């Protein structure tokens, strides 16, 4: 009798537990892994938060701490108690790169070597997690994870952190590599991308402009492996890039190469950020400015301009006589992405590199801050009318999500392609012209585009178009919207696997 009673008790408990699980479906455990750099870490971290808060997942976010910028460390580790329940951040083991990196290689080469060495520990890390992950989400430079996860029977999804047009070009790249002799930048015509707008050779992503370089080899290596993914998350929404999305879904070329299922889930962007005293100062200054009167000047977490260009930019802003907030960073005559690996380490640096007397002459009209400002809050502010931006995809999405048009100032990576698309296809940006025979945008041209964006009819048209996209972006992310539903469909697939 006692044995029977115990058996009944256990069976009853198991029945109650099963009933509770039916009422409260199990949460899938998802692992998210970005390569270093704020342009990749920020959107994947925002995706991790969205999976937890909107789609009932448990998420482990794997951080690559080797050579992480101060801004990256600050984002992931400053306030761990503020993470939503169900999200945790784990640092992968640091690695010594001294034996594998020679000299001072370009950013992408350095980043890819770092990831390659760090992910030697990925199998061990995934195996030690308490609950087996139902999926791993990586960015485009972590494709070593495909082999590791194949051994562990974990499906891998790619989060493409740039535009859909760049993905379309990148999936074409292996064929171009086989068929084209010489350099792509020397082709007599724009590059024809199946089902999409052609890309002018001067707008090609920087990493494919020298096919003999390690940068090109790394980019080709990783992007040629994207078809191995179980699916591709796109940081865009259906109304922003309808032509490119349709091409990837329907064009015979992309069907022939077995392009994985596409899930437009954007805009996945930073919604808020902690305010420093500098941030408070920026917003207080904006509160005193008229509606739609300020141009916000910021060139990304890693971007820099030459000393000559910085001087011209200062003079152009001054000559325009328009209100501005300028996030000014020390110039570099060597590299347009010189701040990539140290973003955030000079927030309180001096701004002695500005033209003599500039601060005094623009006092009351402009506000200059060193290296950092609360970008999302500034773009959201009703006094902000335009954004002089490097056109990185995160900044582009943040601007459009707030209905702010842009002055396109591309620096590196795929930013020239973004700038052209924003100006010529989407209609939310104006591109300043570089002076003939130089690499510098002159002060008169800067004065002109600032005035156009804030005062002219062209600026009003861009602002109207940007506000239309703001509304469509908001609708896409709402419950039942296209981006919300796209991500929800994938989560339902993950949950269904828990029940089998």
Task: Check: CB of residue 227 under 8 Å from CB of residue 258.
Answer: yes
What letters, b where the CB count within 10 A reaches 16 and e where it falls short, cover 214-243?
A: bbbebbbebbbbbebbbbbbbbbbbbbbee
Q: How far apart are CA 200 and CA 185, in angstroms?
A: 9
DSSP structure string for 178-231: HH--S-GGG-SSPBP-TTS--B-GGGS-GGGS-TTSHHHHHHHHHHTTGGGSSE
Sheet holding 406-408: strands in order across? 366-370, 323-328, 294-298, 384-389, 406-408, 429-430
**Cβ-Cβ contacts under 8 Å for 94 (sequence gap 6 or more):** 65, 66, 118
Q: How far apart are CA 112 and CA 118, in angstroms?
A: 10
Task: Check: CB of residue 63 under 8 Å from CB of residue 32.
Answer: no
Q: What letter would DSSP give residue 1?
A: -
- Of the candidates 29, 40, 55, 222, the residue annotated as catalytic is 40
Task: Check: CB of residue 379 under 8 Å from CB of residue 402.
Answer: yes
What Cα–Cα distance (Å) separates residue 299 from each residue in 331, 362, 388, 394? 12, 20, 8, 12
Instruction: Mark residue 445 as left, alpha or beta (left: phi above 0; alpha: psi -120 to 50; beta: remaining).
Output: alpha
Q: From start to end of 117-176, where are the E strands? A: 135-138, 156-160
- Of the candidates 29, 55, 58, 139, the residue annotated as catalytic is 139
Examine the residue annotation and report whether 78 is marked as an active-site residue of this protein: no
Sheet holding 29-33: strands in order across? 87-91, 58-63, 29-33, 135-138, 156-160, 231-234, 262-264
Examine the residue annotation and report whether 139 is marked as an active-site residue of this protein: yes
Q: What is the set of active-site residues?
A: 40, 139
């Amino acid at each position: 009798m006692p044995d029977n009673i115990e058996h009944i008790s256990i069976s009853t408990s198991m029945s109650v537990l099963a009933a509770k699980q039916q009422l409260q479906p199990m949460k899938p455990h998802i692992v998210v892994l970005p390569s270093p750099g704020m342009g990749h870490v920020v959107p994947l971290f925002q995706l991790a938060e969205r999976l937890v808060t909107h789609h009932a997942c448990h998420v482990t976010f794997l951080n690559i701490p080797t050579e992480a910028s101060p801004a990256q460390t600050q984002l992931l580790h400053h306030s761990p108690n503020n993470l939503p329940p169900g999200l945790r951040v784990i640092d992968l083991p640091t690695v010594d790169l001294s034996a594998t990196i020679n000299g001072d290689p370009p950013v992408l080469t350095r980043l890819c070597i770092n990831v390659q060495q760090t992910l030697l520990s990925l199998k061990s890390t995934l195996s030690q997690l308490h609950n087996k992950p139902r999926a791993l989400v990586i960015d485009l430079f972590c494709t070593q994870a495909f082999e590791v996860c194949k051994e562990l029977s974990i499906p891998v999804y790619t989060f493409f952190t740039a535009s859909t047009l760049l993905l379309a070009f990148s999936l074409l790249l292996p064929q171009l590599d086989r068929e084209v002799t010489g350099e792509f930048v020397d082709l007599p015509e724009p590059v024809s991308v199946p089902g999409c707008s052609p890309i002018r050779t001067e707008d090609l992503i920087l990493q494919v402009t020298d096919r003999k370089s390690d940068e090109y080899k790394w980019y080709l290596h990783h992007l040629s492996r994207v078809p191995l993914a179980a699916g591709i998350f796109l940081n865009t929404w259906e109304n922003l890039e309808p032509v490119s999305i349709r091409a990837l879904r329907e064009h015979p070329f992309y069907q022939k190469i077995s392009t994985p299922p596409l899930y437009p889930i954007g805009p996945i962007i930073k919604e808020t950020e902690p305010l420093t005293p500098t941030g408070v100062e920026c917003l207080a200054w904006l509160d005193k400015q008229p509606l739609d009167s300020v141009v916000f000047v910021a060139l990304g977490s890693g971007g820099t301009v030459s000393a000559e260009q910085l001087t011209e930019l200062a003079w152009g802003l001054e000559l325009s006589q328009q209100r501005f907030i300028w996030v000014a960073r020390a110039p570099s005559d060597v590299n347009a992405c010189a701040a990539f690996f140290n973003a955030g380490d000079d927030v309180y640096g001096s701004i002695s590199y500005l033209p003599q007397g500039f601060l005094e002459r623009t006092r009351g009209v402009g506000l200059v801050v060193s290296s950092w400002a609360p970008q999302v809050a500034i773009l959201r502010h009703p006094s902000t009318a335009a954004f002089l931006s490097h056109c990185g995809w995160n900044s582009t999405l943040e601007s459009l999500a707030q209905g702010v048009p842009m002055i396109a100032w591309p620096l590196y990576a795929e930013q020239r392609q973004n700038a052209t698309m924003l100006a010529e296809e989407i209609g939310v940006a104006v591109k300043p012209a570089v002076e003939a025979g130089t690499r510098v945008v002159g002060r008169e041209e800067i004065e002109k585009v600032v005035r156009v964006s804030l005062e002219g009819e062209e600026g009003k048209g861009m602002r109207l178009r940007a506000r239309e996209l703001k509304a469509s972006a908001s609708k896409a992310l709402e419950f039942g919207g296209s981006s919300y539903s796209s991500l929800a469909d994938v989560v339902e697939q993950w949950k269904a696997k828990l029940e089998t």
